[in-house]
């Protein structure tokens, strides 16, 4: 698979979209912050092998976030004051 800029941007948007579905504020903010920071840090990568490696790690992280969102919606706590 030829990895393009649009594939990476789609992964970024999908990760942000899924992370924003967390019902727990602290988990949601942590996931969003980690996603933004990791993409900002890895924006300077130039080797295609490293880009592909990080892309596949991002796909695995997307699947993990999807599973965690499902689990956290099953056991939804009360809303915090800041929400």
pLDDT tens digits, 58-80? 999 999 999 999 998 888 777 77
Please give the Cα distance from 32 to 15 (Å, whole number): 8
Is the model's pTM score more than 0.75? Answer: yes
Please give the pLDDT value at position 11. 95
Please give the pLDDT value at position 48. 87
**pLDDT confidence bin for 1, thresholds 50/70/90:** low
Please give the Cα distance from 28 to 5 (Å, whole number): 26
pLDDT tens digits, 3-45? 888 999 999 999 999 999 998 888 999 999 999 999 999 888 8
Q: Long-range contacts made by residues 3-8, C-beta under 8 angstroms, separation at least 24?
A: 3/48, 3/51, 3/52, 3/55, 7/55, 8/51, 8/55
């Amino acid at each position: 698979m030829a990895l393009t800029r649009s594939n990476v941007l789609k992964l970024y948007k999908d990760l942000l979209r899924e992370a924003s579905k967390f019902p727990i504020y602290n988990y949601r903010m942590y996931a969003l912050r980690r996603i933004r920071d990791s993409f900002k840090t890895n924006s300077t990568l130039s080797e295609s092998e490293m880009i592909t490696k990080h892309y596949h790690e991002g796909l695995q992280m997307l699947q993990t976030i999807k599973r965690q969102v499902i689990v956290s919606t099953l056991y939804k706590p009360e809303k915090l004051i800041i929400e």
